[in-house]
Amino acid sequence: MKTKYLIIGNSVAGVYCIEAIREVDRKGRITVVSDENIINYSRPLISYYLGGRVTKEEMAFRDKEFYQENGVQLILNRKVAKLLVEEKKVELSGGEEIEFEKLLISCGGEPILPPIEGIEKVKEGLFTFTRLEEVDRLIDYIQANKIEEVTVLGAGLIGLKCTEGLLERGLRVNIIELADRILANTFDQEASLILENALSRKNCQVRKEDTIVRVEEKKGRINKVILRSGETLSTSLLVIAVGVRPSLGLVESTPIRCNRGVLVNDFMQTNIKNIYAAGDMTEAKDFLLQKKSVIAIWPTAARQGKIAGYNMAGKKKRYNGLFIMNSVELVGVPTISFGITNPPDPENFEILSRKNEEENYYRKIILKDNKIVGAIFMGKIERAGIFSGLIREKLDVSSFKDDLLSDDFGLLVLPAEYRKHMVKGEGFTE
């Protein structure tokens, strides 16, 4: 089989790549290969699916007509077994080959499995939480075995979203976290404590600065976890959610350059001509740090996929970089965070904050040289998007710094010239 455009991966980066290609090239053949058996789904919604808040059908962010309307050949439930860079082709599981002119690799990330003694003996009751098929298996196991209590290893975003879904199913949850706080990568101590207290009111116990060093099974089914602190917990279900790493298996034996992720330039192209990468497996420009980093979030994957698609189709478009951002509601507490939230050298930053623990309210603004470089909002997150725009525009906020912590802070506080810029539709779109 031959195709002009080949896309490996059918999540957000792949879909946005299709849309960008079709803006430029309406006729070139597009082929998409996915190792999953569903047309597409919004990965941030898998916790809602676990909790019963959405159906599987409601998780799709593009319907099946999308592929027909855009002339896309969609190959599902097939894995790309080998990438032959010099021959410009791939081999699928089963031996079929696809030749391409332009290639986007968007294989996403894969769950990290830490070394735990005895884990290789466990045949039942052990799960990760990154793909829809894993959630289906998790739900089936809970129902078949009448599970009432679950252990979750990891209190980052994946672990907490899984916890939320489990709590919504009426289960008790024990979280084990190695760091000194939950959501350690994006939240500080104050924000984490607010969430931890909210979790404790929802039948969830958090053990911090601890981890699982050994598991025990009975007839292949997990029944105990032993912590580094020496504590033993009985459990019939363990979810490992300590993070994800870029899925690099397909490119490891190729000339494509990698560091932590696949290295790309400002046009999302790898070091190999006509081969591009986007999404969670990609190491690209970080807007704030001005270096290459992996930012495994939905908006980044969408933007990178679109930039890759434009360039694959011949429309030169530059990726200017994004920064870490998360907007999520956990156990009824809406939260949003942007950029640098825990400066490694806080003495070189100015930090403004305001807190009301009883109302689950917290607001923190991080500034450097009178420019916002990070923010955390909890409880009240209205107008938080303005701060994302201020970070991108690198606007000097010294003239209205005293207003930043106000709940009424909005566009009217900003300089007139900047408001005019925003009305033209520029500031928040890129």
Select 119-242's CATH number: 3.30.950.10, 3.50.50.60, 3.40.50.2000, 2.60.40.2890. 3.50.50.60
pLDDT tens digits along 212-261: 999 999 999 999 999 999 999 999 999 999 999 999 999 999 999 999 99
- Identify the pLDDT of residue 427: 37
- Identify the pLDDT of residue 428: 33
Question: Could you tell me the residue ranges of all domains in the chain?
Answer: 2-107+250-312, 119-242, 332-423
Token pair 């884990």 is at which residue?
119
CATH fourth-level superfamily of 2-107+250-312: FAD/NAD(P)-binding domain (3.50.50.60)
Q: Give me the amino acid identity at 128.
A: T
pLDDT tens digits along 122-178: 999 999 999 999 999 999 999 999 999 999 999 999 999 999 999 999 999 999 999
Do the domains at 2-107+250-312 and 332-423 have one common CATH topology? no
pLDDT tens digits along 54-82: 999 999 999 989 999 999 999 999 999 99
Fold category of 332-423 in CATH:
Enolase-like; domain 1 (3.30.390)
Q: What long-range pairs does 285-289 form, CB within 8 A, spacing at least 24?
A: 285/319, 285/320, 285/321, 286/321, 286/322, 286/323, 287/320, 287/321, 287/322, 287/323, 287/391, 287/392, 288/323, 288/339, 288/340, 288/373, 288/391
